[in-house]
Amino acid sequence: MHPTTKPTSEEIAVAKWIKANVPCKKTKFLSHSVEYFTASKAVDKLLISPWSSPGKNKEEPLFTTRESVVQYLDLLLRKKFFHRARKIPVSEQELKARSKKKEKKKEKEDGGKKEKQEAEEEKKGDDGESSHAEEKKDKGKKEKRKIRLDMHLEQIFVDGNDAYVWIYDPIPYYYWLAGGGVVLAVVALCLFPLWPPVVRKGVYYLSIGAAGFLMFIFGLAVLRVLIFCLLWLVSMGRHHLWIFPNLTEDVGFFASFWPLWKYECRDKESPSKKDKKNNGKKKLSDDENEEKAEESGGEDTQLDNVEDTEDKSETESEQTGKDFEMIEKDDE
């Protein structure tokens, strides 16, 4: 793993071709987001690559058999283009333990909502730092299993389903173009006194126009606040008028100037006062209903007493068989 020679141009070209044509997956490895590929897929792709067919001068192809591809990829591994990792399946118990830890943290921050978080975590299958979902074919059905990557102790290239994490990360060409453009722009600004007079005049007028536009925006922002405050003071807080209401909002350039105005008329009584009055009226109506209920309840009890006395008299008259009752003198 300590190569004495630097990679050749051919090896760099092969590594770039592998990275561009062999399917890669993204995951987290030791808390870093990385890309990895499967060994067997890389070997299959290289067997149909431009290096597996004879060249223009009828040179022997670089890759003829799977063994030759494996030897070449092992050389790239030793030159630190990628390294071997081992796949560790994640058990359901670990997933549940991690999901519970996440739930506890979220409960402290958000104040609860366990059921929703469990449903979302089960659907998404987010296992935290370094787990990744892979598709597993079983009896014609695709099942997803969770794995995480760890460093392999034997750093050799093996033709199989092992994972190999990319170390080689070339800088894209547009990064170089953007950096060169920035350098050229800085040099051109430094050479402003050497520009032709016509170009300098144009830049001068453009800068004046940009400064005038900025001053117009600041003045418009101050003017709209003054108009709002004057109208609000005159109407005692009843009329609200905003010119260009979206001018200071987080919207696009053209949306900042539309609509042109926004007018709103509000009553003198604030909603809080209205709520208090409504609550007071409700309380009064509730008290009146309670008094009426008490009065009606008293009348009902009186009627019940009268009906009870009438019932007693009727029962007594039924027992004597007469409309009246004989009373002795002593009883008087």
Model pLDDT for residues 23-46, shown as the tens digit of each residue: 999 888 877 888 999 999 999 999
- Rounded to an integer, the average pLDDT of 179-193 is 93
- Rounded to an integer, the average pLDDT of 100-117 is 66
User: Higher model confidence: residue 166 or residue 100?
Assistant: 166
The answer to whether the CB of 88 falls within 8 A of the CB of 82 is: no
Q: Tokens for 110? A: 């958000």
252 phi, psi to nearest 5 deg: -70, 175
**DSSP three-state, residue 261:** strand
Grade residue 297 by pLDDT with cuts at 50, 70 and 90.
Answer: low
pLDDT the model gives residue 89:
81
Cis peptide before 54 (omega within 30 of 0): no
- Rounded to an integer, the average pLDDT of 70-90 is 89
Grade residue 211 by pLDDT with cuts at 50, 70 and 90.
Answer: very high
How far apart CA 1 and CA 307 sit, in angstroms, is 110
pLDDT the model gives residue 28:
81
How far apart CA 27 and CA 33 sit, in angstroms, is 6
- Rounded to an integer, the average pLDDT of 301-309 is 48
pTM of the model: 0.48
- Rounded to an integer, the average pLDDT of 251-268 is 85
Percent of the chain with pLDDT over 70: 66
pLDDT of 111 strictly over 90: no
pLDDT of 324 strictly over 80: no
pLDDT the model gives residue 317:
43
pLDDT of 203 strictly over 60: yes
Which helix or strand (DSSP H or E) is residue 35 part of? strand 32-38
pLDDT the model gives residue 229:
93
How far apart CA 332 and CA 325 sit, in angstroms, is 13
pLDDT the model gives residue 310:
47
How far apart CA 214 and CA 303 sit, in angstroms, is 86
pLDDT of 100 strictly over 80: no
105-109, 254-258, 308-312: the lowest-pLDDT one: 308-312
CA dihedral (266, 272, 276, 281) in degrees, to 10, reads 30
Grade residue 171 by pLDDT with cuts at 50, 70 and 90.
Answer: confident
pLDDT the model gives residue 291:
60
pLDDT the model gives residue 209:
94
**Apex 192 CA angle, 218 and 205, nearest 5:** 40
Grade residue 62 by pLDDT with cuts at 50, 70 and 90.
Answer: confident
pLDDT of 215 strictly over 90: yes
Grade residue 132 by pLDDT with cuts at 50, 70 and 90.
Answer: low
11-25, 28-42, 113-127: the lowest-pLDDT one: 113-127
The answer to whether the CB of 262 falls within 8 A of the CB of 241 is: yes
Euclidean distance between the first and the last CA atom of the chain, given in angstroms as a whole number: 131
The answer to whether the CB of 70 falls within 8 A of the CB of 159 is: yes
4-18, 92-106, 246-260, 307-321: the lowest-pLDDT one: 307-321
- Rounded to an integer, the average pLDDT of 314-323 is 42
pLDDT of 82 strictly over 50: yes
pLDDT the model gives residue 180:
94
Mean pLDDT, rounded, of the chain: 76
